[in-house]
Structure 1
C-alpha cells in the first residue's frame, strides 16, 4: 500500500514539473514572438521615417531649386515661405517676404482680381492667372501664377503658389505683334502703290494700243506695218505685265475674289489652248488637248480665273520649249455628291527645272534660275499668281520636271456640280465630250 501511495506522489510531482516546463516554454515563445514583432515594427518605423525624410528632402530640393517662384500663404494671404526664385521675381529677400501680405506686391489695378482668385483657392478651386508684380525699385514683372489649396486632415490651411516670370516672353510677343502689324501695313501700302501706278500706266497704254490698231488698218506700206505691229506686240506684253501686277496687288491686299457660275471646263481650257497655238506654231511646236470622257460638261466655278491659270501655264510652256510639243490634259480626280475635283496638266518638252530651283518657282518676282530672265525674259509673277489663284479656289498646284527633258505643271481644283441643267441626264450623269487635239 505504501508503495502505491508513493508512486502516486511521484506521478503528481512529475506532472507538476512537466506543466511547469511546458508553461515556461510557452512564455518564452510568446516573448520571442513579441520581440520579433517589436523589431519588425521598429524596422517598419525606421523605413517610414527614412521615406518621410527622403520625401521631405525631395520637396525641399524642388522648392529650393525650382526656376519659378514657389511660395505658400496662410489663410490671411501672408507669405509663410518663399524660395530663392521668389526673391528674384519679387525683388524682396525671403526674410522680408515672410509675414508680408501678398497684395503689397501687386500693381493696384490687379489687387481685386488676384484677391478674388485667392478666395476661390480657399474654396478648393485651383486658379491660374496672369498679373503684375511691382518690385521695390519700381520695376514691374509680369507673372503667370498657379494657385493650389493646401489641405491637411481635410481642412484648407493655406495656399501654395507657383509664379513664372513671363516678362521677356510677353515683351517678345508684343514686339512680334508690332513687327507683324508694321509688315502688314507696309505690304498693304506697297500693294496700293502698285495698284495705283498700274492703273496710271494702263490708261495711256490702252490708248496707245487702240491707236496702233487703227494705224495698222490705215493702209501702211509693209515696213511701216512691221513697225506698227512691233509696237502692238510690245504694248500687249506691257499690258500683260500691268495686269499681272494688278492681280498680285489685289491678291496680297485680300481683295481678289472668285465666282461660282456655270461653266464648261472643256471650252475654258480649249479657248486657252487656241490662244497660244499661233505663237507655238511660229516656234514649230505642236499643242494638243486631251479631255477625260468622264468629265461632266456642266460644272460651276470661276471660268475667268481658271482660264487665267491655264493661260499662264501655257505661256510658260511655249516660252521655255525650244522644240517638241506641249500637251494639255484634263481629268477627273475625284467625284463627290456635290463636287468634282479636276486636274489640269500642262506637259512640255522644254528645258526643264532642277530640284533645287523648283521650290522658288511659285514665289513672287522669283524664277528658278536668275539667268532665265536674261535669256527668256519675264518677271516671275505668272506662277506666283497661279498659285495664289488656285489656292483661292480651294485647290493646289505642283510641278515635276527633269532638266533637259521637260516639265509638267499641274493643278487640282474642286468644281461644283449643278443640280440640273443642259447636258445633265435624268440620273445626273454627264454628257461625254470627245478629246480635243
Structure 2
C-alpha cells in the first residue's frame, strides 16, 4: 500500500501541514489499508477504482480507473481531470468541478449509480459512478472512493434502440395520419352520397303531400293504400339517411346541439301519446309512470325526442302482441350528481348477455329469427349512445333472454350558461306536427294501417 503515499521529493513540495500528516503515518494510509486490504484484489476488479483524498490528490487503485481519463499519468489532483475533457449529465448539461460526482462525494455526498458522459479528444465514454465519503473515528472526512463502470456499449445500444423506436413511432404516426385521412375521405364521400340520397326522397315526399292535398277527391281506396306504402317506405329511407348523416356528423365533430328549456314530463307524455296508434295496432299496452308532475330541464329537445322514439320503436318492434311496454321517469342521484332517469321496459324477446354490448356498436344487431323479422340497420342505438354521452349522460341495459329488456338513460339535471330560446311545450301546433313527423320517420319499420 506504499503506492498510496506520495514520494519524499513530492512531499517536500507540499505545504507543511500535509507533510506532517503523511510523515505521521497518515490517516489516509491507515484508512486506505482498512478499506483496501489487498491491493492485488483491487487491481483485478473490472470497474475503475479511484480515491480522492481531502487534499484533492487523486489515486488510481487499478488500471481500469485510468481508462476513463485522458492522459491519466499526468493527473495528480482532481482538478486535472478537466485537461482536454468535458463532462455532461444525461440531460446534456455540462458539469463543472463542483458538480462532478468526485467533488460531491468529497463533500460528504453519497453517489448512487449516477450516469455521466465523458467527451475526450480521442473518444466519448458513458459511465455509471458510485461514490462514498470515508470518515475517521472522529467523523472527519479522510477521502472519497469512486467506483466507475463503463456503460458505453449499453448506452450506445440503448440509443440505437431509441432511434429505432422513434423511427417506428414516426412510421406508425404516418400510417395513422394516412388512415385518418382515408377515413375522413370515406366519411366525406359517404356524407356526399347520403346527402344526395336525401334530396330525391324529400322530392318524393313533397309530391305525395301535393297529391293528397290537390287530388284528394280523385284518390281511390287502392291508390290511397299504395300512396301510404310509398310514404312509409320514403320515411324508412329518410330515417336511414338521417341516421347515417348524423353518425358522420358526430364522428367529424359537426353534430350540433340546440339547448332549450322545456317540461320533460309533458314532452315525454306527448311522445308516448304520439306512438299510441302503433302500439294499439300491435295490441301492446303502453304505460307511463312518473314520480315527477312537472320538471323543467335545459336540454336539446329534438335530441331527447329522438332518443326516446328510438327506444320506443325498438320496444314495440320486439314485443309480441298482448304484452306491455312501460316508460318510467324518475329523478336519481348518480355519483353525487342529480340525474333524470328515463327507462323503457318491454316484455319482448330479450337480448343475450354476449350481445348486449354489440347492439350499441355501429350496425350492431342481435342475431335470431325474431330480430331478422324486424327490419333495421343497427345504427339507431349506436347514435342514441353517442347523443346521450354528448349530453353528459349515460345509457344502461338490463335484459334477460326471453323475458324482455330495460333501457335506461341518465341525463344531467342542470342549467347551462347560455340559452337562446325557451320552449314550454304546451299546445303548439307546429310542435305537434314536428313530433308526428319524427314518429312517422322513426316508426316507419312498423307498418301502420
Q: What TM bracket, shorter-length normalisation?
A: 0.5 to 0.7
Larger radius of gyration: 1
1:386 shift after superposition: 0.8
Instruction: Give unpaired runs (5+ residues) of structure 2.
Output: 1-32, 49-64, 73-83, 102-112, 117-124, 133-142, 425-449
Partner SS state of residue 357, structure 2: helix
Q: Which residue of 2 aligns with 1:253?
A: 252
Partner SS state of residue 319, structure 2: coil
Find the aligned partners of 1:328 and 1:73 in 2 and give their Cα distance. Answer: 83
Partner SS state of residue 346, structure 1: strand
Residues 74, 159 of structure 1: 8 Å contact kept: no
Match of 1:174 among 150, 170, 174: 170
Structure ranking higher in helix proportion: 1
Find the aligned partners of 2:379 and 2:269 in 1 and give their Cα distance. Answer: 24
Q: Which residue of 2 aligns with 1:200?
A: 196
TM-score, scaled to structure 2: 0.60
Deviations, residues 195-217 of structure 1 (Å, cap 9, x unaligned): 21121111111110111122234
Residues 350, 407 of structure 1: 8 Å contact kept: yes
Cα distance, 1:127–1:266 mapped onto 2, change above 3 Å: farther
Residues 340, 417 of structure 1: 8 Å contact kept: no
Q: Which residue of 1 aligns with 2:209?
A: 213
Partner SS state of residue 361, structure 1: helix
Larger mean CA deviation between 308-317 and 163-172 belongs to 163-172
**2:318 is equivalent to residue 320 of structure 1:** yes
Provide the aligned C-alpha RMSD in A: 4.4
Deviations, residues 36-78 of structure 1 (Å, cap 9, x unaligned): xxxxxxxxx999979x989x98989xxxxxxxxxx99836699
Partner SS state of residue 276, structure 1: helix
Q: Which residue of 1 aligns with 2:381?
A: 383
TM-score, scaled to structure 1: 0.62
Count of aligned residue pairs for this structure pair: 321
Residues 393, 411 of structure 2: 8 Å contact kept: yes
1:182 shift after superposition: 2.5
**2:226 is equivalent to residue 231 of structure 1:** no
Q: Which residue of 2 aligns with 1:393?
A: 391
Match of 2:68 among 66, 74, 77: 74
Larger mean CA deviation between 344-353 and 275-284 belongs to 275-284
Residues 298, 416 of structure 2: 8 Å contact kept: yes
Residues 326, 347 of structure 1: 8 Å contact kept: yes
1:258 shift after superposition: 3.0
Larger mean CA deviation between 252-261 and 153-162 belongs to 153-162
Q: Which residue of 1 aligns with 2:288?
A: 289
Find the aligned partners of 1:404 and 1:192 in 2 and give their Cα distance. Answer: 41
Q: Which residue of 1 aligns with 2:261?
A: 262
Q: Which residue of 2 aligns with 1:241?
A: 240
Cα distance, 1:308–1:422 mapped onto 2, change above 3 Å: closer
Deviations, residues 110-129 of structure 1 (Å, cap 9, x unaligned): x9997943537982599999
Find the aligned partners of 2:244 and 2:365 in 1 and give their Cα distance. Answer: 16
Cα distance, 1:332–1:158 mapped onto 2, change above 3 Å: same
Counterparts in 2 of 1:128-147, with a 5 A limit? Answer: none
Match of 1:416 among 414, 417, 420: 414
Cα distance, 1:121–1:76 mapped onto 2, change above 3 Å: farther
Residues 318, 370 of structure 2: 8 Å contact kept: no
Deviations, residues 334-379 of structure 1 (Å, cap 9, x unaligned): 2899x63111111001111111111211000111216566321100
Q: Which residue of 2 aligns with 1:406?
A: 404
Cα distance, 1:412–1:76 mapped onto 2, change above 3 Å: farther
Cα distance, 1:348–1:117 mapped onto 2, change above 3 Å: same
Residues 150, 160 of structure 1: 8 Å contact kept: no
